Homo-oligomer: A and B are copies of this chain.
């Protein structure tokens, strides 16, 4: 298997699909479509839809269905970045080397572009019967998985905990892990789980995929925090140490650099282990795990 080729194939199909999700039309709200598109087509690693696609692929499921639901999840991820960057949140002016959405389109339009992308995810998923072979029961099941992962008990809950932690003198490793399980982990878990549902995983396979994705999500975050202190500004597209400087709690600030590296190694192994069940079919996911935990940006 040529990993790079397969990965780029997934990413190309995602990028192609996303282009159509908020296609600019000559309406009175044209600027909304432009702002949504600006952020949606800004590139990025497309980790979430790649997970949905590759898990589904491993199980021999319908890739057209996986693409639709994976891209809906990417819309949710993108909205969360737009809102996170707003002045009242992280107040970031740079994202992936480009001006953030509110710098490019103004705060009000960025707020609404974020709302629009969250909403678009559900438009896509509920319109799935028109575009995919997923039956109604599965569609409702997937919408439930995604909405609970992105909501108050998932991603949004994690964002609030993150905000709260900035006002705290101290935060424990457990609190930090809980925050990341919600803030980034829940959606990564959902992306893999949706791939499992579309691929028709049985209950044992589903458990293994959940275990894999939960460890991968956390490993990804630990790597992010390590890169924040060790990475190259040019590669990261944002200033090095920007999380540390803004007073954000990171794995490095709580555990120290060496312990963070050890944790990353352990989580990577714990992500890969449950994939053994799938034998050779897990090849892409194993390489994808290394790719994410060894990345330089």
Query: Is B152's CB under 8 angstroms from A116's CB?
Result: yes
| Segment among A8-16, A31-39, A45-53, A196-204 that sits at the interface with chain B | A31-39
Q: How long is the Cα–Cα vector from A158 to B112 in the complex, in angstroms?
A: 10
A120 within 8 A of B: yes
Beyond A88-B108, A152-B29, is A122–B122 a contact (Cβ under 8 Å)?
yes
Q: How long is the Cα–Cα vector from A222 to B88 in the complex, in angstroms?
A: 34
Q: How long is the Cα–Cα vector from A87 to B111 in the complex, in angstroms?
A: 11
Chain B: minimal CB distance from A20 (Å) = 13
Q: How long is the Cα–Cα vector from A254 to B37 in the complex, in angstroms?
A: 33
Number of copies: 2
Query: Is A89's CB under 8 angstroms from B118's CB?
Result: no
Q: How long is the Cα–Cα vector from A164 to B108 in the complex, in angstroms?
A: 10
Contacts of A148 in B (CB 8 A): 123, 127
Query: Is A29's CB under 8 angstroms from B123's CB?
Result: no
A236 within 8 A of B: no
State how many residues of chain A have any CB contact under 8 Å with chain B.
58
Contacts of A147 in B (CB 8 A): 119, 122-123, 126
Query: Is A156's CB under 8 angstroms from B123's CB?
Result: no
Partner of A28, one of B28, B83, B114, B179: B179
15 pairs of residues in contact across A and B, judged by CB atoms under 8 Å: A29-B157, A29-B158, A79-B115, A83-B112, A87-B88, A88-B108, A89-B108, A108-B163, A112-B159, A112-B160, A115-B118, A116-B156, A119-B147, A140-B140, A143-B143
Given contacts A29-B156, A88-B106, A119-B156, list 12 more A-B pairs with CB under 8 A. Answer: A36-B152, A87-B88, A88-B107, A112-B160, A115-B118, A116-B152, A119-B151, A119-B152, A122-B122, A122-B147, A126-B141, A126-B147
What is the interface of chain A, defined by CB distance below 8 A to chain B? 22, 27-29, 31-33, 36, 79, 83, 86-89, 106-109, 111-112, 114-116, 118-120, 122-123, 125-129, 135-137, 139-141, 143-144, 147-148, 150-152, 156-161, 163-164, 175, 178-179, 182
